[in-house]
Copies of this chain bind each other. A is one copy, B any other.
């Protein structure tokens, strides 16, 4: 059973009648409910307002795939939780960043770039094309599929070149965008998926729920979580695998830690 946690900042659901009307249980509630209908997946939720944003270390230890949605409150996410999430990814937790989470702290940290883009909130049509029809994230999808109303995101999208581009978006207003991108950071699989503006019912669409189910399965790394993802162990000379004698100058004493 793949254990997914759907994290949401859960801000516009509190502040906006429009958003609450579409997502009475929150975006997190909508996505988790959909994932809980998927064979082999069990989903729970966490929000910004929970203690430690709902992501204490022991919960991350028990999370196979984290799904992240944020927009208005990126800056309210604590650096400690951001670092903890990124370390869990390096250790093997899968992570899926949705829509406006392109500016989420852990996404920016994992990418190392500005993650910026252009945008327009016009409720225009988005048509999504599958570029890799044999990719597990595209399993069972029609090609293309459409969203009647979405926010537009335009290029340039300030991310590193991905391992794989899985989706492209065509927008009614004239833009194109790389809408599904895969990365790997340490042992963790990372997927960015573009759609999901909170004023439209995107996560209620079966085709989008199918993408998320596929992405959860794809992002899941069944290996045991790696330990000590920041460790930089010294290998003493006497433990070298080939015969070796000390030569030349030296800064470190035996068994000493390296610098950071």
Output the least CB separation between A23 and chain B (Å). 11
| In the complex, chain B residues whose CB is within 8 Å of the CB of A72 | 259
Residues of chain A from 176 to 194 with CB closer than 8 A to chain B in the complex:
176-178, 183-188
* Per-residue B-contact encoding for A126-155, CB less than 8 Å = 1, 0 else: 010111111110010001100001001011
Counted per complex, copies of this chain come to 4
Q: Which of A28-36, A46-54, A61-69, A227-235 contacts B (4 or more CB under 8 A)?
A: A227-235
Q: Which B residue sits closest to A171, measured CB to CB?
A: B170
Output the least CB separation between A196 and chain B (Å). 13
| In the complex, chain B residues whose CB is within 8 Å of the CB of A163 | 161, 163-164
Q: Is the Cβ of B120 less than 8 Å from the Cβ of A235?
A: yes
A80 touches B (CB below 8 Å): no
Question: Which of B90, B187, B244 sits near A172, CB closer than 8 Å?
Answer: B244
A247 touches B (CB below 8 Å): yes
Q: Is the Cβ of B122 less than 8 Å from the Cβ of A244?
A: yes
| In the complex, chain B residues whose CB is within 8 Å of the CB of A97 | none
Question: For chain A, which range describes its interface: under 10, 10 to 19, 20 to 34, or 35 or more residues?
Answer: 35 or more
Q: Is the Cβ of A131 less than 8 Å from the Cβ of B157?
A: yes
Q: Which of A37-45, A107-115, A205-213 contacts B (4 or more CB under 8 A)?
A: A107-115
Known: A134-B221, A184-B164. A149 touches B111 (CB 8 A): no
Output the least CB separation between A187 and chain B (Å). 2
Q: Is the Cβ of B154 less than 8 Å from the Cβ of A165?
A: no
| In the complex, chain B residues whose CB is within 8 Å of the CB of A161 | 163-165, 184
| In the complex, chain B residues whose CB is within 8 Å of the CB of A111 | 112
| In the complex, chain B residues whose CB is within 8 Å of the CB of A236 | 120
| Interface residues of A, Cβ cutoff 8 Å to B | 12, 16, 18-19, 22, 71-75, 86, 90-92, 100, 103, 109-114, 116-124, 127, 129-136, 139, 143-144, 149, 152, 154-158, 160-161, 163-165, 168-178, 183-188, 198-200, 221-223, 226, 229-237, 240-242, 244-252, 258-260
17 A–B contacts, CB within 8 A, in A order: A103-B260, A114-B229, A122-B246, A123-B248, A123-B249, A124-B244, A131-B157, A132-B156, A134-B188, A136-B222, A144-B174, A168-B178, A170-B174, A172-B244, A173-B242, A198-B251, A200-B249
Known: A100-B259, A173-B244, A174-B241. 5 other contacts (CB 8 A): A119-B235, A120-B240, A160-B184, A173-B241, A198-B251
